Amino acid sequence: MDAEVYPLDLVLAPLLFVLGGLFALRPYIPTTGTAMRCCVAALVGLFLIRYLDWRLFQTVLPAEGSLLELGWIWLCFTVEAVALFDAVLLYVTFLRRADRRAEADRLEAGLRALPPERLPAVDVLIPSYNEPLEVLEKTIVGALSIDYPNFRVWVLDDGRRPWLRDFCREKGAGYITRPDNSHAKAGNINHALPLTDGEFIAIFDADFVPQRNFLMRTLGFFEDPRIGIVQVPHAFYNHDPMQTNLAVRKVLPDDQRFFFDAIMPSRDGWDAAFCCGSNSLTRRSALAEIGGKLPTDSITEDMLLTLVLLRRGYITRYLAEPLAFGLAPESIQAFFVQRQRWARGATQIMLLRNGPLGPGLKFVHRLLFLPTHWLTQSLISIFSLIVPLVFLWTGLAPLANVTREAILFYQIPAVLAVFGGLRVFAPTQYFPLAAAALGTFQSFKILPSVLGTLVSPRGHLFRVTPKGRDAAGAGYETGIFWICLALLAATALGLVVNARVDIRIVEQTALIPLVAFWSVVNILILLLVCMLCLQTRVRRGEERFEISEPVWLLCGDGTRLPARLSNLSLSGAAVRLPDGAPRLALGAELQLVLPAVGPLRASVARRFADHLGLRFELPPSPERDLLIRKIFTSGINTPEADVSGLAVTLGLLGRIFSLQDSTRSDMSPSAAETMDARPPAPRLPAETTLLPPGPPGPKLAEPAGSRAATGE
């Protein structure tokens, strides 16, 4: 029976069935169980098989026409097929899920019950290249605050900066440098490995601050001799470019939550989690079996290390618990430096003997380590924009023998099944509109990077993601902006042209309403991408954290005022005064007494309602270190976003149709008025000759013990 003669209730039956099925199954998806997960995957798979059968045997193989028409139909089908292949791999991943938090509780209790002398030694490595002091200071001080009795912190300086050597000596951290920068980050770590001797090696990028309980929460997993690496999520204390440029900080989580909170726990269920570079703990004896160093054949040495160890029988375990907080890309430029490096490195790995296609891996690991999503996601994003444009301006259809009823009967239920299933598996991490906008945004640079790497896999340099002051003021992404604006205009004009009978290009008029809907969705996505290209000015130099706790204000005249902290940063704070408190003048000097820190010199910089905005006068000192420890090593993160699907969609649509200032739209008065001005950069010596370091300096006032040393 041809779909075009189906009655309306029959045409809509598959659509209603998939929506009803996913809605009914969603509440029953357990955290770790597989039975209901298999039901969701089976439902989605049923609609995909049904769709592909129709797509191939009714819209592709029977197609007739010119070589151009047939070529276009087959090209569209091929792109769609490889994208669906990646979707199937993702659904296979979601069939399992591991939650290791209860296991970590048990293992931590066992570690804390041991006498300190029985705990293994750990070397904490912080590879660095060109990060400024404002970034490194937090990481080094935070690492020295780890709650563990037997560890050493080593800063691996590929920038050969004397000021950093002196800073490490003052704080009590070890300092290692080398004469060249061969193999970038991997080479830096490999140079340090024979100079250290801890049984385990923790690695943190220069912008990631470990929480005090990092080692106690991760080290216990190594009681299983199969575990070679323990990885924890990358969590962030700032907002990424999408959250910032679209002013959706309060409604949209950062874009890496889908991977770290949904995909990685599922990969762990298959023993297919992988090292992500930073925030990892590695068994040194496992490295010894592969030559005592990290592989250097790819610029993403972390994933390649996982594959090399996997062939030796070692598993990477994943603990879905934020135990280190770092900097998300602070600008569009930093975002693309990071993502292009990931895409190139993953593509390189696919072509290596130690990659997923090489010998010695289980079939499921080959599938789950295929990095094809970097190519397919970019292709499908670009084709989703181009296909309706080609149809509107040339009448060239991407599929043959199609009717409006067939689209409703086969294609739309399959699309909703795929997206709806992802929403079931990741209800607080996956949002289709946001994912489409970000995927389109990055596809313009990721696709050329992947294709270039496929053609020439070697010779790509490791580019460090700019951080701190180096990432500020990177400007607009004008190339992508004008491309998207042109695509938007062409789509809108194509709709106008085909709306008029006298100049209409498309002959299949029954399909125009569906193509029009597709085009409107594309216009919304393109508007979001255009807005993403416009870099929002960052007003604060230090990230602000919402903390509510009682504090004291010690005024210059000896008055002692109780107050409540509202937010806190390394350069200032906002406090709420009680009713009847005296009004303090702007510029008034006082001391803010913070729990676990002590008195901090401050001055009144803002007054608003019952709040004061304070600016700290905080040079390098034990108090500054204690403040870093309080803010960055105690699990304090930026406020949780309201991550309901409706809130995200309305937030994005509202951003399109509003003209509000994106730098202030989601900031509370206290946030907007807290004056976190970025201090001037210190003038540092330019010498690269390494001088012998001095003895380790004093540590924090209340630190856990460590074996910090200074050496080369």
CA distance 635 to 369: 31
**β-strand 315-318 against 227-231: which pairing, if any?**
parallel
pLDDT at residue number 569: 94
Catalytic site residue from 254, 268, 302, 666? 302
* Chain centroid to CA 22: 27
Query: What are 48-58's pLDDT values in tens digits?
Result: 999 999 999 99
Catalytic site residue from 123, 147, 158, 207? 158
Query: What are 519-542's pLDDT values in tens digits?
Result: 999 999 999 999 999 877 665 578
H/E run at residue 509: none
Mark whether 261 is an active-site residue.
no
Query: What are 385-402's pLDDT values in tens digits?
Result: 999 999 999 999 999 988
Query: What are 81-124's pLDDT values in tens digits?
Result: 999 999 999 999 999 999 999 999 999 999 999 999 999 999 99
**β-strand 324-326 against 235-236: which pairing, if any?**
parallel
pLDDT at 641 over 60: no
Least confident window among 199-208, 213-222, 324-333: 324-333
Closest CA to 324 of 49, 112, 566, 632: 632
Mark whether 9 is an active-site residue.
no
Average pLDDT estimate for 610-626: 93
For the record, the structure tokens of 677 come out as 């001005």
Closest CA to 238 of 325, 160, 297: 325
Q: Give Cβ neighbours of residue 117 (< 8 Å, ≥ 6 apart).
A: 150
pLDDT at residue number 6: 57
Locate the DSSP E strands across 498-610: 545-555, 560-568, 572-576, 589-594, 598-608
Could you say which DSSP state residue 27 is in?
G
Q: Label residue 347 left, alpha or beta by phi (over 0 means left) and psi (-120 to 50 means alpha).
A: alpha
pLDDT at 302 over 90: yes
* Chain centroid to CA 167: 30
Burial degree of 503 (CB within 10 A; 0-12, 13-18, 19+): exposed
H helix and E strand count, the chain = 24, 16
pLDDT at residue number 667: 36
Closest CA to 367 of 350, 343, 348, 379: 350
CA distance 210 to 229: 16
Higher pLDDT, 359 or 647: 359
CA distance 245 to 239: 10
pLDDT at 694 over 80: no
- pLDDT over 70 for what percent of the chain? 88
- Computed over every residue of the chain, the mean pLDDT equals 87
Query: What are 127-174's pLDDT values in tens digits?
Result: 999 999 999 999 999 999 999 999 999 999 999 999 999 999 999 999
Burial degree of 438 (CB within 10 A; 0-12, 13-18, 19+): buried
Phi and psi torsions of 424, nearest 5°: -70, -45
What is the largest distance, in Å, between two alpha-carbon atoms of the chain?
91
Classified as helix, coil or strand, 514 is helix
CA distance 224 to 310: 15
Higher pLDDT, 505 or 175: 175
For the record, the structure tokens of 83 come out as 């994208």
Classified as helix, coil or strand, 394 is helix
